[in-house]
Amino acid sequence: MTKRRDFLQSLGMMGISLPVLHKILNRDSSYVPTTAASPLVMCSRGESWGKKVLEPAWAKFKETNSILDAIEAGSNVVELDPEDTSVGYGGLPDERGVVSLDASIMYGPTYNCGSVASLENIKKACSVARLVMERTDHSMIVGAGALAFAKAHGFPEENLLTENARLTWLEWKENLSDNDDWLPPPDGDYKKFRKGGTINVLGMGSEGDVAGITTTSGLFGKIHGRIGDSPIIGAGLFVDNEVGAAGATGRGEELIRTCGSFLLVEKMRAGKSPQIACEEVIERIFYVNGGKKNVNFNVKMVAFNKDGDAGSASIMPLGDNASASVITAQGMRLIPGKSMM
Ligand code: ASP
């Protein structure tokens, strides 16, 4: 009895009432923690892209106070930019020369999510994913269904293949040997042909509400219909309102088989810092590859926790791309990435 009273008193001192405790324990999706957390937006890229993505995201956050609006605005910048060859318009195509997009979104306060995969002819894939989350009773819509859904919501159908992407594809096609998707040699030169990219935009709003987006055109030259990690919740993206957010880029097949982003969030829940958690997911990928570190693909993990600490780790050193960036009311800061190779 005394113990129970002590326990209730200590909850009271922490400002946690019994109904709130009940909601936490039962994972009531209406529960939004009100602990003081400073808003932030994080981008999985370094300085130059970071600035292009984070400044409009932050401006949107200040305008609407919605973290979902903010991360969507930041992601749309890359989706609409023809210069980026790994996301949205201008993305490198599949083996047929057709651009197809994968994107996902997740919102911590409701633990709700939405995604699209193999979406063709629509530039803002993450906005369609958001509509899957908010305007359907489903989590994932793919292929022709995703296109029809986007058109039903008024998205214009457009050709996503830029001249640059077409020429890159043509060169690949004309030089195909055994190094293609149909008969990949065990040690093919992925660094030369298997270009990827992707972007993660993660954020935390004024109420400590966590959210994230991952959007990509996927692996260059992929088999038609191949889906990567980006639209798969737990692989390319995962957020938990009590813990933080995580996103992944790089070889999706590795992230799917390790549940990379979910694993990262669970490591943070267990008390690991975002940086250590990112590094440990990369270690897990080495583990499932027989303990080898000299793999011929890259994976990069980024994350932040509810204290606003952030981390980034990749397999290969990628120059400016190894780092990530964060914006808060104090301005932008760079998160130096650690290469684990
Ligand atoms: N993760 C993406 C995919 O596998 C590609 C990438 O990020 O490079 O589709």
Residues 222-250 pLDDT 10s:
999 999 999 999 999 999 999 999 999 99
What digits encode the pLDDT tens for the residues 86-139? 999 999 999 999 999 999 999 999 999 999 999 999 999 999 999 999 999 999
Calculate what percentage of the chain has a pLDDT beyond 90.
75
Residues 6+ apart with CB under 8 A from 73: 56, 57, 59, 60
Residues 6+ apart with CB under 8 A from 127: 72, 76, 155
Residue nearest to atom 8 of ligand 1 (CA): 196
pLDDT for 319? 62
Please say whether the beta carbons of 199 and 53 come within 8 A. yes
Residue nearest to atom 4 of ligand 1 (CA): 252
Q: How confident is the model at residue 172 (pLDDT cuts 50, 70, 90)?
A: confident
pLDDT for 174? 79
Residue 197 clears pLDDT 90, i.e. is over it? no
Ligand 1 atom index nearest CA of 236: 1
From 100, 229, 295, give the residue whose CB has the most ligand 1 atoms within 8 Å, as the site to mutate: 229
CATH of range 41-339; options 1.20.58.340, 3.40.50.12280, 3.40.50.720, 3.60.20.30: 3.60.20.30
pLDDT for 32? 41
What is the spatial distance between Cα 122 and Cα 130, in angstroms, rounded to a whole number? Answer: 14
Give bridge partners of residue 203 from the DSSP assignment.
41, 211
14: exposed, middle or buried (C-beta count within 10 Å: 0-12, 13-18, 19+)? exposed
Residue 65 clears pLDDT 90, i.e. is over it? yes
Residue in the structure block whose two tokens are 């296109």: 147
- Lowest average pLDDT, out of 38-52, 178-192, 276-290, 323-337, goes to 178-192
For ligand 1, the distance from its centroid to the CA atom of residue 183, given in whole angstroms, is 20
Residue 25 clears pLDDT 80, i.e. is over it? no
From 216, 223, 255, 281, give the residue whose CB has the most ligand 1 atoms within 8 Å, as the site to mutate: 216
| Ligand 1 pocket list (CB less than 6 A) | 196-198, 216, 218-219, 228-230, 249-252
What is the spatial distance between Cα 47 and Cα 53, in angstroms, rounded to a whole number? Answer: 10
pLDDT for 204? 98
For ligand 1, the distance from its centroid to the CA atom of residue 70, given in whole angstroms, is 23
From 102, 230, 233, give the residue whose CB has the most ligand 1 atoms within 8 Å, as the site to mutate: 230
What is the distance between the terminal CA atoms of the chain, rounded to a whole angstrom? Answer: 55
Across the range 24-45, mean pLDDT stands at 63
For ligand 1, the distance from its centroid to the CA atom of residue 141, given in whole angstroms, is 18
Predicted TM-score of the model (pTM): 0.85
**Active centre residues (catalytic):** 198
What digits encode the pLDDT tens for the residues 138-154? 999 999 999 999 999 99
For ligand 1, the distance from its centroid to the CA atom of residue 228, given in whole angstroms, is 6
For ligand 1, the distance from its centroid to the CA atom of residue 240, given in whole angstroms, is 22
Ligand 1 atom index nearest CA of 197: 8
Which of 191, 156, 150, 160 has its CA nearest to residue 91? 160
